[in-house]
Amino acid sequence: MKGILNFTQEQLVSQFNNLKFAKFRVQQVIDWIYSKGVTSFTQMTNFNGQTQGTLSNSYCIYRPQISAIKKSIDGTIKFLLKLDDSLTIESVFIPEDHRNTICLSTQVGCAVGCKFCNTGYNGFKRNLKPEEIIGQVFVIKDYVDSWKDRTKRISNVVFMGMGEPLYNWNNVNIAMQNLKLGGEIQGLSPKRITLSTSGIVSVLEKIIPTLECNLAISLHAPNSATRSSIMPINNLYNLENLLTICKAYNRLHPNKLITFEYILLNGINDNTGMAKQLIKILHGVKCKVNLIQFNSWKGDKFVGSDEQKIQNFRKILVSSGINATIRHSRGRDIMAACGQLQSSN
Ligand code: SF4
């Protein structure tokens, strides 16, 4: 049985051609799946029994299984989802006044191994398939009832959950293309999607010319020595090369800002000197900086900077003209905040 969510619209045309279905059937199936959220081909009421049967025998419409749910006092909901091979991932629903965001995982675990991240600490298992990425959105939509209730509509998706999306780029790209397919109400335009990466320069080089979504880079340090000490990926793709590719992105997408994420770790990357170095290296890069409080997890070796230090750090950046904001994490009480996700509850 093939997972229909793994196919792009174009690939579905050729799939349906092999089944001797008329081309217009592709759009009909897409509407049922991506706009109405049906979970079975027998719910596609404008198809006769024979067509429903052929589709049911050929494809499945994948949903991961909800293993556990945790609800934060701030409204954030964390889902522990079980995949067909019994591995688990986490996804997070973040409701806000004017938007609802889902934070998606792209891998089971992560090989990048950032020292401040619970996912990285627990190692890498495998890449997620497109249907396992899209399935996270669908299962959350089912749960919060956003297929029918417009106020629960998912307006934004961030690829900031478990995994490095650029180490699974082909599947992430298919998922992004397919998430557009839900039409005006359920579809997610690329400007509502943010791809967050630790800076896999070799992949960025290939994808930035055609990258439609927003780009966020996990920077976390203003010099290579500090960055390497907390993000070993810096030994492979160093800061200098990363900033060169960021400038290339700016040239190719002059109307977009890159978001740099910067977790403030006490005594490591949070002093005045570091803020000044950051100003220096970001000179000439069109960007904004998201300062993030460190979210603690069992086994971590860090202490987050206190509020005063975070405010001072921001003040220094802002005084030099950098657009810097402090991102207050959501769902900390249920371990759903940035860097806290793992494969078990
Ligand atoms: S921060 Fe992202 S890239 Fe780094 S280890 Fe965690 S999941 Fe992987």
In a domain, 342, yes or no: no
Closest by CA position to 177, among listed 190, 158, 191: 190
> Kind and range of the H or E element at 277?
helix 272-281
Among 136-140, 146-150, 235-239, whose mean pLDDT is lowest? 146-150
In a domain, 99, yes or no: yes
Estimate the crossing angle of helix 169-179 against helix 130-144, to 10 degrees: 40
The CA 243 to ligand 1 mean position distance, Å, reads: 19
What average pLDDT does the structure give for the chain? 95
One domain for residues 20 and 123:
no
pLDDT, average across residues 159-174: 97
Q: In the listed set 15, 34, 60, which residue is the last one of a domain according to the structure?
A: 60
Residue 184 bears catalytic tag: no
Residue 336 has pLDDT above 80, yes or no: no
In a domain, 339, yes or no: no
One domain for residues 217 and 230:
yes
For residues 192 and 172, the answer to whether their CB atoms sit within 8 Å is: no
Residue 314 has pLDDT above 90, yes or no: yes
Does ligand 1 lie within 6 Å of residue 37's CB atom? Answer: no
In a domain, 341, yes or no: no
One domain for residues 101 and 190:
yes
One domain for residues 141 and 89:
yes
Catalytic-labelled residue, pool 60, 90, 110, 307: 90
Residue whose tokens read 């690939």: 11
The CA 297 to ligand 1 mean position distance, Å, reads: 14
CA 113 to chain centroid, in Å, comes to: 17
The rounded percent of the chain whose pLDDT value lies above 70 is: 99
Does ligand 1 lie within 6 Å of residue 198's CB atom? Answer: yes
Does ligand 1 lie within 6 Å of residue 120's CB atom? Answer: yes
For 53-92, the pLDDT digits (tens) are 999 999 999 999 999 999 999 999 999 999 999 999 999 9
Which is the closest atom of ligand 1 to the Cα of 196?
2
Residue 308, domain extent: 65-334
Give the DSSP per-residue string, 300-320: ----BPPHHHHHHHHHHHHHT
CA 239/CA 318 separation, integer angstroms: 22
One domain for residues 128 and 77:
yes
One domain for residues 151 and 25:
no
Does ligand 1 lie within 6 Å of residue 90's CB atom? Answer: no
pLDDT, average across residues 28-39: 97
One domain for residues 185 and 242:
yes
pLDDT bracket for residue 345 (50, 70, 90): very low
Q: Which distant-in-sequence residues (6+ apart) come within 8 Å of 96 by Cβ?
A: none
Residue 21's CB is within 10 A of a number of other CB atoms, namely: 19
Does ligand 1 lie within 6 Å of residue 163's CB atom? Answer: yes
The CA 118 to ligand 1 mean position distance, Å, reads: 8
Tokens encoding 239: 């800061």
Q: Which residues of 266-284 are buried (b: 16+ CB within 10 A; e: fewer)?
A: eebbbbeebbebbbebbee
Residue 59 confidence (pLDDT):
98
pLDDT, average across residues 181-187: 92
Dihedrals φ, ψ of 261, to 5°?
-95, 135
Q: Name the residue with the closest Cα to ligand 1, atom 3.
A: 164
The CA 217 to ligand 1 mean position distance, Å, reads: 11
Dihedrals φ, ψ of 154, to 5°?
-85, 115
Estimate the crossing angle of helix 307-319 against helix 272-281, to 10 degrees: 40
Residue 341 confidence (pLDDT):
74
One domain for residues 199 and 272:
yes
In a domain, 150, yes or no: yes
pTM of the shown model: 0.95
For residues 293 and 322, the answer to whether their CB atoms sit within 8 Å is: no
The number of domains in the chain is 2
Does ligand 1 lie within 6 Å of residue 114's CB atom? Answer: yes
One domain for residues 11 and 73:
no
Residue 131 bears catalytic tag: no
One domain for residues 249 and 128:
yes
Q: In the listed set 26, 44, 60, which residue is the last one of a domain according to the structure?
A: 60
Which CATH number does the domain housing residue 281 bear?
A: 3.20.20.70
For 221-246, the pLDDT digits (tens) are 999 999 999 999 999 999 999 999 99
Residue 49 has pLDDT above 90, yes or no: yes
Which is the closest atom of ligand 1 to the Cα of 161?
7
In a domain, 340, yes or no: no
The CA 113 to ligand 1 mean position distance, Å, reads: 6
Bridge partners, residue 227, by sequence: none
For residues 110 and 119, the answer to whether their CB atoms sit within 8 Å is: yes
pLDDT bracket for residue 300 (50, 70, 90): confident
One domain for residues 6 and 149:
no
Residue 343 confidence (pLDDT):
66
Which CATH number does the domain housing residue 22 bear?
A: 1.10.150.530
Q: In the listed set 45, 60, 75, which residue is the last one of a domain according to the structure?
A: 60
Best residue for ligand 1 mutational test, from 105, 164, 237, 341 (most atoms within 8 Å of Cβ): 164
pLDDT, average across residues 26-48: 97
For 191-210, the pLDDT digits (tens) are 999 999 999 999 999 999 99
In a domain, 343, yes or no: no
One domain for residues 170 and 243:
yes
Dihedrals φ, ψ of 12, to 5°?
-65, -35
Q: Name the residue with the closest Cα to ligand 1, atom 4.
A: 114
Which is the closest atom of ligand 1 to the Cα of 120?
5
For 241-287, the pLDDT digits (tens) are 999 999 999 999 999 999 999 999 999 999 999 999 999 999 999 99
For 115-125, the pLDDT digits (tens) are 999 888 888 99
Residue 19 confidence (pLDDT):
94
The rounded percent of the chain whose pLDDT value lies above 90 is: 88
